[in-house]
Chain A
């Protein structure tokens, strides 16, 4: 069966510091991968998605970037964190679509607090 891991689970970082959040998927090959952010009072927003190694699409302009160095690894980064980057970051994966339907499965999340 497939599992998705995220780490760290919780992170407290000062403003202006760098960020690296990691997501890995086990039990599947060539998945689509996604980063979402859940901010207080703002719901869930897709940040990035990737259909393959080195292929990253950004949904919204922001202070963050993403990379996919390996098939089942997805990394979310920032060079300098802002207060507004605080939130709950969720990684998700999906099997490439059958009849265009790609159900997304979510990881446990990383809670980031920027002070």
Chain B
């Protein structure tokens, strides 16, 4: 069975500090991995996706994530947090032939001034 684990339901950083949101996955087949962001009372916006090409994936708003097969991880990072980054972030997994996305439980990012 496939699963996604996001370590830390809440992460707080200072403005300008490094953002690191953790995602580990379990999959019996090579996965596709996604990060989505959800601002309050809004839908999910795709940040970036891994599709078995480059292991370092760059997304929108300065975010990037690195696929590490040996660690079964796909952590999301941003060098310098901005106040506008405060939101909830979801890691999700899919694989060829699978319709549904399997989501992690989400990490709420708080950015302190």
Contacts and interface: CB of A to CB of B under 8 A. Distances in A.
A90 B44 contact: yes
Contact of A100 (B42, B46, B97, B100): B97
A43 B43 contact: no
Given A103-B34, A106-B43, A44 B99 contact: no
A108 B40 CA distance: 10
Contact of B41 (A46, A59, A111): A111
Interface in B70-96: 90, 92, 94, 96
Interface string A80-115: 000000000010100000011111111111010000
Contacts of B44: 44, 90, 92, 106
Contacts of B43: 6, 90, 106-109
Nearest to A88: B41
Contacts of B100: 34, 46, 49, 59
Contacts of A28: none
Contacts of A92: 44
A24 interface: no
Interface in B16-38: 32, 34, 36
B103 to A, nearest CB: 4
Contacts of B99: 32, 34, 46, 49, 57, 102
Nearest to A42: B105
Given A59-B100, A101-B94, A106-B43, 4 more contacts: A43-B106, A44-B90, A57-B99, A109-B41
Interface of B: 32, 34, 36, 41-46, 49, 51, 90, 92, 94, 96-97, 99-101, 103-106
Interface of A: 6, 32, 34, 43-44, 46, 49, 57, 59, 90, 92, 99-109, 111
20 contacts: A32-B99, A43-B104, A43-B106, A44-B92, A44-B101, A57-B99, A59-B100, A99-B96, A100-B96, A100-B97, A101-B51, A103-B46, A103-B49, A104-B46, A106-B36, A106-B43, A106-B44, A107-B43, A109-B43, A111-B41
